[in-house]
Amino acid sequence: MSDTTAMVPVNLDQLPSTQIGTDDQFAELAKGGDYINRLKLYTKSKDSIKGLIPDGHYGIPESDEKVIDLGVSVDILPLARRPKAIDMNDMEALVISYDTEAKEFKRIATKAGEADSHCQYGVSFLVYERSTGQFLEFFCGNKSSRIEAKKLFPFLPLTQADIDAKAEAGNPVGDLKPHGPVPLTLKVRVAENRKGIWHVPEVVMCSSPFTRLPSGETIRREIAKFLAVKDNGVEKVQDTRPARAR
């Protein structure tokens, strides 16, 4: 924040505490609703054409006219994952499914293989982004990002219950041990084929620890909200703001 001495000439540096409650509590109260903002890699997008953010940058869409530009790399802490399929043909009533066995999920996934289908499916991650201090959804919904999504999996928290479930399903667990979320950095690389050129996410190890985080209670609450499935796994969203309902 800039120097405020000229605006407030009286020295008020030694005021007593000016709040009741914690920063986490105030951050929760200041939310506009029960929805989560998105972390998005922009490439060949309308927002890039409008000059809101360059292609090949990560950003957080806040409105039709504002995108927070995070640059070509972001440090995140991955916290949870869920399947997601979204049909965007009617932007006034998006259809979202979180159940891979649901009829709607399968329909959307099949449709996503068609040109200009306005459908996507893949893995949706809940992440905590370092620079903004926000919980965000990072959705790997197209073919390129789905391929990269599996590289995020080892960075997610792993509980003993997760390990037991893998073993029960017949998957090798080796010397897996429970651990918390591991920081990673999302970078950008250029992909190219005969159809064109575009930007895709790239997962690399993070070189800097996360030293400032919300409370464990806040993190657990955000994970629980993110994983809550609605309407038997299918959600119809009338809100067309960039930050979609959970």
* Domain assignment present for 212: yes
Q: Tens digit of pLDDT for each residue in 207-246?
A: 899 999 999 999 999 999 999 876 666 777 664 444 444 4
Nearest to 43 by CA among 193, 111, 144: 144
**Position 33 confidence tier, pLDDT thresholds 50, 70, 90:** low
* Domain assignment present for 166: yes
- Residues 133, 24 contacting (CB under 8 angstroms): no
pTM listed for this prediction: 0.82
Residue 220 lies in domain = 33-237
pLDDT for 9 beyond 70? no
* Domain assignment present for 75: yes
**Position 146 confidence tier, pLDDT thresholds 50, 70, 90:** very high
* Domain assignment present for 7: no
Per DSSP, the three-state class of 65 is coil
Contact residues for 28 (Cβ-Cβ < 8 A; gap 6+): 218
Round to whole Å and give the CA distance between 169 and 157: 19
Tokens of 2: 């800039």
Query: What total of structural domains would you count in the chain?
Result: 1
pLDDT given at position 21: 66
* Domain assignment present for 63: yes
* Domain assignment present for 23: no
* Domain assignment present for 67: yes
* Domain assignment present for 13: no
Task: Return the residue matching tokens 């657990």.
Answer: 220
